[in-house]
Amino acid sequence: MRHRRRRPSDYLFFVLFAGPNVALILAFVYYPLLMNLNYSRLNWRIGASTAKIVGLANYKEFFTSDTGLSVWKVTILFTICTVIGSMLLGLIMAVVVNQKLPGRTFTRTALFSPYVLSGVGIALVWSFMFDPQMGILRYVFEFFGKTSPQWFLHENTTLIAAIIVYIWKYLGYCTVLFFSGLQSIPQDLMEAAEMDGASKTQTFFRITLPLLSPTTFFLLVSMTLNAMQAFDILQILKPTGEGVNTFVFEIYRQSFGVYQRAGYASAISVVLFLTLALITVIQFKFVDRKVHYA
């Protein structure tokens, strides 16, 4: 079969429609990325008129310093806890609201509402709730005969508080997506399993969960990328960053905080970009194989 010869007008229309989008992507994505790579090899402070080329020294410092190791530890722990917590609780809540119960529409709306709210506003509200003197959590601990901890005085409790707030914000997002997945499961499969004598537990683990794998895979990718780039909630809860210095928080501290080390912050940005790209490739390469799309 002969290929149709393209006319010059076809290329003109392509340039007219795709050209502005390509230009915007080049200007606001790839050009900053290349400039960031260039800055990462410099010892340069924001506002300084001169910069010294240091090669890979910034990368070496990040991978060998105690601060760099702390960033890796906090980011990995924060990501694992928030992703698993949000998805697990979201699945449980989706199963609950999928039942024919009174008020389930209101429940779904209430669960999803925190996701559309500002992270800054959510963090401010929760910071008052965590207050050991006036916060509502103080009365919860007193009800069980305990004393409310000083959440933001210790690094471990600060990270726990941040994980709680982040899970609360994204719980509704996971719930709605899992609920949509449950609604798309053919009812004849569920009825066939019931007729074959399968219990509800067997039906859930052998039919429902495998058919939810596309939704689970999408949430795993998106939630991992979101968690590794978390900043606004962490910055409000602990402005100094102790205990919650994830990648993005450390980039902020090094570039616009007290250090103003733009070159070092650029190196951390490159490491974060490569890490996110590697995680995405691994997820699509290996996890996607276990996804049932039909």
User: Do the domain assignments include residue 138?
Assistant: yes
Number of other residues whose CB lies within 10 A of the CB of residue 270? 18
Over the stretch 129-153, which tens digit does the pLDDT of each residue have? 998 888 888 888 888 888 888 888 8
The pairing of strands 42-43 and 52-53 is: antiparallel
Question: What percentage of residues in the chain have a pLDDT greater than 70?
Answer: 95
- CATH no. for residue 269? 1.10.3720.10
pLDDT at 1: 47
Q: Which residue has the higher pLDDT, 193 or 232?
A: 232
pLDDT of 249 higher than 70: yes
Number of other residues whose CB lies within 10 A of the CB of residue 6? 9
Token duo for residue 54: 């240091």
What per-residue string of b and e applies to 25-36 under the rule 16 or more CB within 10 Å gives b? eeeeeeeeeeeb
How far apart, in whole angstroms, are the C-alpha atoms of residue 247 and residue 156? 17
User: Do the domain assignments include residue 15?
Assistant: no
Over the stretch 250-277, which tens digit does the pLDDT of each residue have? 999 998 877 889 999 999 999 999 999 9
Beta pairing partners, 261: 45
Establish how many alpha carbons lie within 13 A of residue 83's alpha carbon, considering only the half-sphere containing its beta carbon: 21
pLDDT at 291: 66
**In the structure, what pLDDT confidence band is assigned to residue 5 with cuts at 50, 70 and 90?**
low
User: Do the domain assignments include residue 76?
Assistant: yes
User: Do the domain assignments include residue 240?
Assistant: yes
| Chain Cα centroid distance, residue 206 | 29
Over the stretch 28-70, which tens digit does the pLDDT of each residue have? 888 988 999 999 999 988 878 888 999 899 999 999 999 999 9
pLDDT at 240: 85
Lowest mean pLDDT of 65-74, 172-181, 193-202, name the range: 193-202
Q: Give all strands (DSSP E) within 100-211, no chain letters.
A: none
pLDDT at 60: 94
How far apart, in whole angstroms, are the C-alpha atoms of residue 270 and residue 37? 7
Decide: residue 190, CB within 10 A, 0-12 exposed, 13-18 middle, 19+ buried.
middle
User: Do the domain assignments include residue 58?
Assistant: yes
- What average pLDDT does the chain have? 87
Q: What is the mean pLDDT of the segment spanning 160-189?
A: 91
How far apart, in whole angstroms, are the C-alpha atoms of residue 285 and residue 220? 14
Q: Is 87 helix (H, G, I), strand (E, B) or coil?
A: helix
Handedness of CA 190, 192, 195, 196 (dihedral sign): negative
Q: Give the amino acid at 45.
A: R
**In the structure, what pLDDT confidence band is assigned to residue 98 with cuts at 50, 70 and 90?**
confident
User: Do the domain assignments include residue 26?
Assistant: no
Number of other residues whose CB lies within 10 A of the CB of residue 47? 7
User: Do the domain assignments include residue 37?
Assistant: no
| % helix, strand, coil for the chain, step of 5 | 70, 0, 25
> Domain residues for 99?
52-290
Beta pairing partners, 45: 261
Among 76-90, 188-202, 236-250, name the most confident range: 76-90
Number of domains in the chain: 1
How far apart, in whole angstroms, are the C-alpha atoms of residue 162 and residue 173? 18
Token duo for residue 159: 């990270």
pLDDT at 17: 84
Q: Which residue has the higher pLDDT, 196 or 5?
A: 196
Cβ contact 203:193 at 8 Å: yes
Q: First-to-last CA distance in the chain?
A: 34
pLDDT at 153: 85
Choose among 274, 228, 268: nearest CA to 251: 268
pLDDT of 294 higher than 60: no
How far apart, in whole angstroms, are the C-alpha atoms of residue 67 and residue 213? 37
**In the structure, what pLDDT confidence band is assigned to residue 82 with cuts at 50, 70 and 90?**
very high
User: Do the domain assignments include residue 160?
Assistant: yes
